[in-house]
Amino acid sequence: MDDVSKAIIAELQEDGRRSYAAIGKAVGLSEAAVRQRVQRLVDSGVMQVVAVTDPTEIGFARQAMIGIRASGELEPVADALAEVKEVDYVVITAGSFDLLAEVVCESDAHLLEIISRRIRTIPGVMSTETLVYLKLRKQTYSWGVR
């Protein structure tokens, strides 16, 4: 990735609603060239342009991080977790847990259903530990580019 693409990403991390024309002025490209670069970055999976919300403000009363201990290969377990629509984040880790999965749910009953019927039934899942979020204090995606 070249410096211009990195600059475009930095501009969008600062304000995801910034116009292509404004980004073009900041990075020295035309509006059309910025539009093409942004589309290539999205198509290649380097970035997403999304609205970041506080889930509790839009009807999702419960968020949690679920630590998962698994047996066997971890990639198939991670892929199965990624298929659960309420799971918005999956990572394979080193340490006490083999995987972490963040879930966004409508209620405690919904969380229980996801854990009991959807996550713990995935082949390879041995145990789970759920860390319930009590209050969201910070959520940002502006770590920049290197």
pLDDT band at 36 (very low <50, low <70, confident <90, very high): very high
Average pLDDT over residues 71-95: 97
- The reported pLDDT for the residue numbered 133 is 93
- The reported pLDDT for the residue numbered 140 is 77
pLDDT band at 35 (very low <50, low <70, confident <90, very high): very high
Residue 142 scores a pLDDT above 80: no
pTM of the model: 0.79
- The reported pLDDT for the residue numbered 59 is 83
Residue 146 scores a pLDDT above 80: no
Residue 72 scores a pLDDT above 80: yes
Strand order in the sheet with 99-105: 87-92, 99-105, 62-70, 125-132
